[in-house]
């Protein structure tokens, strides 16, 4: 039986194969008839997991969908009831993030998706976005998913309110530097991560006290590669209670020199921090 969502897109006209012409460009803002669209790959190099992320933004929509380079629908949603009357604008989400190595799984039944398997599941190329407004009119956009994956930051450290790190050479737990050369030789990756330009560094200090408070900043990397440190504001640290557990994530946000920021991101974590230590932070559960 055809779903309500499928019927909505069918009524709005145009089959998926005719949404856009051949070829693609990397575009996020604007994105055809949408204000913004993007797809990207995010890797946690410490935990060894990998995910597919997306975002679409346009005014007055009641439904949207994304199709991969082959025309297969990978995501669709539709507003219902009062939300349909109110309409939607920004839609974003991320896939589950299975580990990329069997030995990283907590349970033998946990899903494992290696980097080559992920590339096969989410192929590089033009991802086509389509939104439908309350009158059944369609707006279209497209953006590129690439596998220019930046290397994971190394040697993340914290001392005296200062977070430091070094440029990376691998994807951490997902693949060593030598294994990545093999993936490049086999055509799985277009370029070794250590050769992917870093457009910016994203730094997140997250309190693990249930407050969901964070300090977060994104720094430009190009033209200032020597700056691989961030000083956490004293105002933030002074507001943190003694013996507060915390963690730090430092992400490399990739870019292609020809097209600018690519948005693919590889993060490294530093866990087990104890801020404003007095008696010592409680042991994690």
Comparing 260 with 250, the larger pLDDT belongs to 250
pLDDT of residue 282: 86
Number of residues assigned to the chain? 285
Q: Distance between CA atoms of 200 and 60, rounded to whole angstroms? A: 32
- Contact call for residues 246 and 132 (beta carbons, < 8 A): no
Domains of the chain: 4-145 (2.60.40), 154-275 (2.60.40.10)
pLDDT of residue 149: 96
pLDDT of residue 226: 57
Each residue's pLDDT tens digit, 251-280 = 999 976 544 456 899 999 999 999 999 999
Q: At residue 20, does pLDDT exceed 60? A: no
- Contact call for residues 38 and 54 (beta carbons, < 8 A): yes
Nearest to 165 by CA among 240, 246, 219, 100: 219
Kindly give, in sequence order, each residue whose CB lies less than 8 Å from that of residue 207, ignoring residues fewer than 6 positions away: 213, 214, 240, 244, 245, 246, 275
Q: At residue 9, does pLDDT exceed 90? A: no
Ranges 197-201, 205-209, 234-238, 241-245: which has the least confidence: 197-201
pLDDT of residue 22: 29
Phi/psi region, residue 40 (left: phi>0; alpha: psi -120 to 50; beta: rest), is beta
Q: Distance between CA atoms of 11 and 135, rounded to whole angstroms? A: 11
- Contact call for residues 267 and 250 (beta carbons, < 8 A): yes
Q: Distance between CA atoms of 198 and 219, rounded to whole angstroms? A: 11
Each residue's pLDDT tens digit, 163-195 = 999 999 999 999 999 999 999 999 999 999 999
Q: Distance between CA atoms of 174 and 119, rounded to whole angstroms? A: 13
- Please name every residue paired with 75 in a beta bridge, in sequence order, or none if there are none: 66
Sign of the dihedral through C-alpha 61, 65, 69, 70: negative
pTM for the whole structure: 0.85
Residue 264 vs residues 23, 44, 267: alpha-carbon distances, Å: 21, 12, 10
Each residue's pLDDT tens digit, 60-90 = 999 999 999 999 999 999 999 999 999 999 9
- SS3 for 219-277, per residue? EECCCCCCCCEEECCHHHHHCCCCCEEEEEEEEEEEEECCCEEEEEEEEEEEEEEEECC
């Amino acid at each position: 039986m055809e779903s309500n969502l499928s019927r909505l897109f069918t009524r709005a006209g145009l089959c998926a194969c005719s949404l856009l012409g051949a070829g693609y460009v990397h575009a996020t803002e604007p994105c055809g008839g949408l204000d913004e669209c993007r797809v990207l790959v995010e890797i946690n190099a410490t935990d060894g997991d990998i995910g597919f992320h997306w975002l679409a933004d346009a005014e007055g929509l009641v439904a949207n969908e994304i199709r991969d380079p082959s025309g297969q629908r990978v995501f669709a949603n539709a507003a219902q009831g009062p939300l349909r009357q109110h309409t939607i604008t920004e839609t974003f989400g991320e896939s589950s993030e299975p580990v990329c190595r069997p030995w990283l799984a907590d349970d033998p039944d946990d899903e494992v998706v290696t980097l080559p398997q992920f590339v096969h599941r989410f192929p590089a190329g033009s991802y086509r976005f389509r939104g439908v407004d309350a009158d059944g009119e369609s707006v279209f956009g497209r953006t590129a998913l690439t596998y220019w994956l930046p290397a994971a930051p190394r040697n993340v450290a914290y001392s005296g309110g200062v977070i430091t790190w070094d440029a990376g050479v691998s994807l951490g737990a997902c693949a060593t530097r030598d294994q990545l050369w093999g993936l490049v030789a086999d055509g799985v990756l277009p370029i070794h991560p250590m050769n992917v330009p870093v457009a910016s560094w994203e730094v997140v200090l997250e309190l693990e006290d249930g407050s969901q408070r964070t300090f977060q900043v994104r720094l430009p990397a190009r033209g200032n590669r020597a700056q691989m440190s961030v000083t956490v504001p004293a105002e933030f640290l002074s507001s943190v209670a003694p013996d507060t557990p915390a963690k730090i994530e430092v992400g490399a946000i990739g870019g292609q020199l020809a097209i600018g920021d690519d948005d693919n991101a590889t993060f490294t974590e530093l866990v087990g921090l104890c801020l404003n230590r007095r008696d010592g932070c409680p042991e994690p559960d």
